[in-house]
Amino acid sequence: MSFQPLNEYVAIASKDKTWSFHSLFQGVKLAQFTEEQEINSIEFHPDGLMLVTGLKDGTIKIYDIRTHQEIFKLTDYKGEIGNIAFSNKGLHFAASWKSHDVCRIFNLRKLGKEVNEIKHAAPVNCVNFDNYGQYLLTGAGASLNIFAASKHWTEEPLYTNEVVHETGIVNVAKFSSSGKMIVTGGSEDRFMKVFGL
């Protein structure tokens, strides 16, 4: 599920290969779409005019919200998408594939041209940018990593916590809106953990 930045709309993805677009003010479904695969990630662009989906087969699609048309499709990488996140200004997006030990960062202005690959010691399950455009957060295996986000992406993390969830992988990791906390969720221990920055 993803809320449009102006909180006018919400997009909801489900395991039946469909995603739908709803008006929060009218309380109605405006459109529904069917993909070829299950949808693992759905995210609004910060300007609210585009939306990205990440599919189980590794495909990434970007849609124009005004026309409901697909405007970009990336099929270069195989494997199940973990999740996709836009940078705060929407110039880049980061994507993780559950079987890949890299986080890939793409330049949206060049329609998906890869900017960088950041190597990890384990498959990357989740990615997230802070709201100020300074940091990229990744969950790889049981570890949590923070990288400097800039024109030149750092390949070495600024911070790593090797064992965030002792009995499982980091399934989700998010910066708080203030950027002063990180919340993680584990796959097997079922714990939510909060870290101060």
How does residue 116 score in pLDDT terms, banded at 50, 70 and 90? Answer: confident
Comparing CA positions, the residue from 28, 81, 34, 129 lying closest to residue 13 is: 34
15-38 pLDDT, tens digit per residue, is 899 999 899 999 999 989 999 999
pTM of the model: 0.88
Instruction: Give me the number of domains the chain comprises.
Output: 2
Are 56 and 40 in contact by the 8 Å Cβ rule? The answer is yes
The answer to whether residue 91 is domain-embedded is no
The answer to whether position 46 is within a domain reads yes
Q: What's the pLDDT tens digit per position in 127-174?
A: 999 998 889 999 998 889 999 887 666 677 887 887 666 667 888 899
Minimum mean pLDDT range among 57-66, 89-98, 99-108, 110-119: 110-119
Q: CA angle, corner 40, sides to 39 and 44, nearest 5?
A: 85
Contacts of 187 (CB under 8 A, 6+ apart): 165, 168, 169, 170, 171
Q: Is residue 180 part of a domain?
A: yes
- Are 134 and 183 within one domain? yes
Residues 170 and 194: beta-carbon distance below 8 Å: no
Q: Are residues 117 and 197 in the same domain?
A: yes
The domain of 22 spans 1-79
Question: Is 13 within a domain?
Answer: yes
For residue 5, pLDDT over 90 is answered with no
Please check whether residues 53 and 125 belong to one and the same domain: no
Q: Give the 3-state secondary structure of residue 122.
A: coil
| Same domain (yes/no): 127, 171 | yes
Whether residue 56 is found in the same domain as residue 118: no
Find the CATH number of the domain harbouring 69.
Answer: 2.40.10.480
Give dist(CA 69, CA 140) in Å, integer.
Answer: 33
Question: Is 38 a domain residue?
Answer: yes
Kindly state whether residues 140 and 75 are assigned to the same domain: no
64 and 22 together in one domain: yes
pLDDT at 95: 94
148 in the same domain as 193: yes
pLDDT (0 to 100) of residue 60? 94
